[in-house]
């Protein structure tokens, strides 16, 4: 069987993936007060602070002194770590799984039952048995729900940017469908970890090149680490975790040693940061630390030097990005050294309206699409859909929520946040808006995850009486009889009226509108405002919002949650702060026993759910449509793409 290199997945593969949430100040008005969430030991409704939370300071380490490699080798007691080919892993896994249907049988099925779904995945989710099975000149048109903001690997912060980087980027590490980490055999010759967990040694291959022909070396990786750790470079998403590394040292062009600050179970994930070419950025970086404002950096963003299997051939902002297979990626000095990517051309097409996207799929202008509940139930069941496409589904650890900015006068009080959750009509959301396809969410972990607590609290149900009682306790009453709750804050009477931001997607708008209608019944005004996704993303990063609809896909490890729930982290959009959660995040990273880790993270799950920084809404499993010529799709907790092999295991069948 012809195999090709697995694309190394970084963000959003390691970090929880942002799924289109956003926010904005209500009618341009700045928040008038600031407070953070109370800790688990704080009486309900008591604000912990009236100022923005600061990240806990790490103990200062003595200056790093580069040790000689010989000295390291003498004391490291290196332990071998996995260096694997993900497609080979999948090939071995598929040998264990019986074929439930032939390809012909699967293509004739309608996915209207669990049995048919299993048959479709079993038959079509396979790798090619021969090079002749594959259409090597194929194009695939993939769907992007929103545009990307930057093509620069270290600036990525969204699912869409991660999808592009998986095609064009260079990385050393990845993980499989069970979230097991390993080094990519197509890039790495060897990986070893010291017995004390404080060092990792990696030797990269000597046949790696950037798209401009320059060699990829260990010095590129060191430069990338130092760029990410420069506090003046705005890369909060990829700095999280990388900041646990003390130093990265290149001992020659191919040998790297990573020095960790502490012995942490999460160090295996912290190694995996995005890599950019040193020769492109080392002179320009000091002149523009944003990597985005200077003409030179803008030109690089339009036509970047890439280290992955593809290069960008066309980019029309807001419409599409087209990438082409790079021969110099899999060929080196006239010899094939890596597997040839299955697709010659990949077109990433931006379509924000799901209904327009479905029409494009039916016409053949898109080859894959994540479909909404109404589309799965009513718009993809007839011959018009099945003439060109099929569909499949699987469990995904992806939850959606209403997020609250706890530095506004409205949501600093935990009683108010709980009132919001009691106000929402969860049954109508799940059964009518979502057609019964989504599960209720009761916290940050999926119920099938190893860290989900056995005694987790049940999901919220609507209870308007309880919501009103909590708002009364928090001081939000209708003092003037106009039907709108208000409260005196800093000597001024403030009405409870806020803006909920969301991406311009019908289901999300409908969910926010349902919340608006529920809140009106208890004297709270909620203005629903759809905003373009890249703008929303920036508003969240800038903390310029009151409330937002959003979602998080799982990170590869629970330790990545510090990026969004630890005090002071920039992607902690709502200024959530709980010292016990901070402590548990630290404790979980230091625990190497999986069962003990599960207890730690399970406790954190319960605390966060009790604090209700979010109104947890639903868990969205994967529902996808695929062109009938596509093969190799397989689901994981991160959906069909964001793991290894993921998308790199997909291929288009040759004409028979």
Task: Work out the average pLDDT over 267-275.
Answer: 95
pLDDT score recorded for residue 44: 30
Q: How many degrees, rounded to 5, is the angle at CA 422 between CA 417 and CA 427?
A: 135
Nearby residues of 485 by Cβ (< 8 Å), 6 or more positions away: 471, 476, 477, 478, 495, 496, 522, 523, 524
The DSSP code sequence of 450-470 is: TT--TTPPPPP---HHHHHHH
Domain 85-119+145-388's class? alpha beta
Across residues 304-314, what is the average pLDDT? 98
Q: What is d(CA 338, CA 185) in angstroms, rounded to the nearest whole number?
A: 10
**Whole-angstrom distance, CA of residue 323 vs CA of residue 305:** 12
pLDDT digits (tens, 9 = 90+) for 96-116: 999 999 999 999 999 999 999
Residue recorded with tokens 């609507």: 462
The per-residue pLDDT for range 483-502, each reduced to its tens digit, is 999 999 999 999 999 999 99
Model confidence at 41: pLDDT above 60: no
Bridge partners of 96, per DSSP, are: none
Distance, CA of 183 to CA of 5 (rounded, Å): 12
Place of tokens 């001081």: 475
Coil, helix or strand at residue 361: helix
Q: Which of 45-49, 427-431, 443-447, 526-530 has the lowest mean pLDDT?
A: 45-49
The SS3 call for residue 218 is helix
- For 600, phi and psi rounded to 5 degrees? -65, -50
Q: How confident is the model at residue 53 (pLDDT cuts 50, 70, 90)?
A: low
Q: HEC states along 310-353? A: EEEEEEECCCEEEEEECHHHHEECCEECCCCCCCCEEEEEECCC
- pLDDT tens-digit map of 602-637: 999 999 999 999 999 999 999 999 999 999 999 999
On the question of pLDDT at 9 being above 80, the answer is no
Alpha helices in 109-262 (DSSP H): 114-124, 159-168, 218-228, 236-242
List of E strands, 491-575: 492-495, 497-502, 525-530, 547-553
Q: How many CB atoms lie within 10 A of CB 212?
A: 12
Interacting residues of 472 by C-beta distance below 8 A, sequence separation 6+: none
Check whether 454 has a pLDDT greater than 60.
yes
Q: How far apart are CA 623 and CA 447, in angstroms?
A: 18
DSSP state of 47: -
For Cα atoms 438, 443, 448, give the angle at the middle one, nearest 5 degrees: 65
CA nearest neighbour of 515 among 398, 407, 415, 426: 426
Average pLDDT over residues 296-309: 97
List the Cα angle 285/208/307 in 5-degree steps. 45
The overall average pLDDT reported for the chain is 90
| Per-residue confidence band for 58, with pLDDT thresholds at 50, 70 and 90 | low
Question: Residue with structure tokens 């190694």?
Answer: 271
The helix-helix angle for 579-590 and 594-611 (nearest 10°) equals: 160
Contact predicate 424/617, CB 8 Å: yes
At 533, is the pLDDT very low, low, confident or very high (cuts 50, 70, 90)? confident
Across the strands, what pairs with 256?
A: 202, 250
Residue 60 binned pLDDT confidence (cut-offs 50, 70, 90): confident
Q: How far is CA 307 from the centre of its chain?
A: 21
- Does position 423 have pLDDT exceeding 60, yes or no? yes
111: left (phi over 0), alpha (psi -120 to 50) or beta: beta
How distant is the alpha carbon of residue 218 from its chain centre? 27
Could you give the residue ranges of the DSSP H alpha helices within 1-113? 69-75, 86-96, 103-108
Q: CATH 3.10.105.10 spans which residues of the chain? A: 403-414+466-614
Tokens 């197509």 correspond to what residue? Answer: 186
Helix (H), strand (E) at residue 473: helix 464-473
What CATH architecture is 403-414+466-614? Roll (3.10)
CA 558 to chain centre: 13
What is the C-alpha separation between 615 and 354, in angstroms, rounded?
24
Could you tell me whether strands 335-336 and 255-260 are parallel, antiparallel, or unpaired per DSSP bridges?
unpaired
Residue 538: what pLDDT? 87
Using CA atoms, how far residue 253 sits from 204, 218, 257, 617, in Å, is 9, 5, 12, 49
Which residues of the chain form CATH 3.40.190.10? 85-119+145-388
Region class of 390: left (phi > 0), else alpha (psi between -120 and 50), else beta: beta
Give the residue ranges of DSSP H helices in 575-635: 579-590, 594-611
**124-141 pLDDT, tens per residue?**
999 999 999 999 999 999
Task: Give CA–CA dist 78/280, Å, rounded.
Answer: 34
Using the predicted structure, report yes or no on whether residue 147 has a pLDDT greater than 50. yes
Provide the token pair at 302: 């339009």
Question: Looking at 6-20, 208-222, 300-314, 612-626, which range is the least confident one?
Answer: 6-20
pLDDT surpasses 50 at 49:
no
pLDDT at 361: 98
- Of 52-66, 179-193, 257-271, 466-480, the poorest mean pLDDT is in 52-66
CB atoms within 10 A of CB 314: 12
**Per-residue b/e over 607-646, b at no fewer than 16 CB within 10 Å?**
bbbebbbbbbbbbbbbbbbbbbbbbbbbbbbbbbbbbbbb
């Amino acid at each position: 069987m012809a195999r090709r290199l697995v694309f190394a997945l970084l963000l959003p593969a390691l970090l929880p993936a942002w799924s289109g949430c956003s926010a904005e100040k209500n009618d341009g008005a700045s928040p008038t007060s600031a407070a953070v969430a109370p800790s688990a030991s704080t009486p309900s409704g008591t604000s912990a602070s009236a100022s923005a939370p600061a990240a806990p300071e790490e103990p200062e380490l003595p200056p790093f002194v580069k040790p000689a490699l010989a000295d390291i080798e003498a004391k490291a007691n290196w332990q071998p770590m996995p260096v694997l080919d993900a497609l080979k892993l999948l090939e071995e896994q598929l040998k264990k799984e019986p074929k439930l249907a032939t390809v012909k049988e699967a293509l004739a099925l309608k996915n209207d039952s669990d049995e048919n779904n299993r048959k479709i995945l079993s038959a079509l989710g396979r790798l090619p048995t021969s090079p002749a099975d594959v259409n090597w000149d194929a194009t695939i048109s993939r769907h992007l729900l929103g545009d990307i903001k930057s093509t620069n690997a270290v600036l990525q912060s969204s699912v869409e940017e991660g999808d592009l980087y998986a095609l064009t980027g260079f990385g050393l590490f990845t993980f499989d469908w069970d979230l097991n980490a390993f080094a990519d055999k197509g890039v790495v010759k060897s990986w070893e970890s010291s017995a004390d967990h404080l060092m990792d040694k990696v030797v990269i291959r000597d046949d790696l090149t950037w798209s401009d022909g320059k060699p990829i070396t260990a010095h590129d990786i060191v430069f990338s680490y130092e760029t990410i750790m420069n506090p003046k470079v705005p890369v909060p998403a990829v700095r999280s975790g990388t900041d646990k590394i003390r130093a990265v040292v290149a001992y020659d062009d191919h040998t790297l040693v990573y020095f960790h600050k502490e012995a942490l179970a999460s160090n295996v994930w912290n190694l995996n940061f995005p890599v950019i070419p040193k020769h492109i950025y080392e002179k320009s970086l000091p002149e523009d630390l944003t990597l985005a404002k200077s003409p030179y950096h803008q030109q690089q963003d339009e036509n970047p030097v890439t280290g992955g299997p593809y290069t960008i051939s066309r980019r029309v902002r807001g419409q599409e990005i087209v990438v082409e297979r790079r021969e110099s990626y899999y060929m080196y000095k006239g010899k094939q050294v890596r597997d040839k990517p299955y697709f010659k051309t990949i077109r990433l097409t931006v379509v924000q309206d799901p209904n327009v996207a479905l029409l494009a799929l039916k016409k053949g202008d898109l080859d894959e699409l994540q479909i909404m509940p109404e589309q799965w139930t009513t718009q993809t069941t007839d011959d018009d859909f099945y003439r060109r496409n099929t569909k499949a589904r699987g469990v995904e650890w992806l939850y959606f929520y209403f997020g609250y900015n706890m530095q506004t006068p409205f949501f600093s009080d935990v009683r108010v946040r709980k009132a919001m959750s009691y106000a929402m009509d969860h049954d109508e959301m799940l059964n009518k808006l979502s057609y019964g396809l989504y599960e209720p969410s009761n916290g940050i972990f999926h119920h099938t995850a190893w860290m989900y607590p056995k005694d987790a609290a049940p999901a919220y149900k609507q209870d308007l009486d309880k919501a009103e009682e909590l708002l009364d306790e928090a001081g939000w009453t209708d003092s003037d009889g106009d039907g709108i709750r208000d409260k005196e804050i800093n000597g001024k009477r403030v009405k409870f009226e806020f803006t909920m931001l969301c991406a311009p997607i019908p289901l999300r708008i409908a969910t926010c509108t349902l919340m608006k209608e529920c809140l009106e019944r208890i004297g709270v005004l909620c203005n629903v405002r759809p905003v373009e996704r890249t703008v929303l993303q920036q508003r969240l990063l800038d903390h310029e919002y009151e409330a937002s609809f959003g979602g998080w896909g799982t990170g590869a490890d629970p330790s990545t949650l510090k990026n969004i729930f630890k005090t002071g982290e920039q992607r902690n959009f709502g200024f959530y702060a709980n010292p016990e959660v901070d402590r548990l995040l630290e404790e979980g990273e230091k625990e190497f026993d999986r069962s003990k880790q599960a207890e730690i993270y399970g406790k954190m799950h319960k605390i966060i759910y009790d604090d209700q920084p979010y109104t947890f809404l639903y868990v969205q499993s994967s529902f996808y449509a695929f062109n009938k010529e596509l093969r190799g799709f397989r689901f994981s907790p991160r959906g069909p793409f964001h793991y290894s092999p993921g998308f790199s295991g997909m291929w288009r069948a040759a004409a028979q």
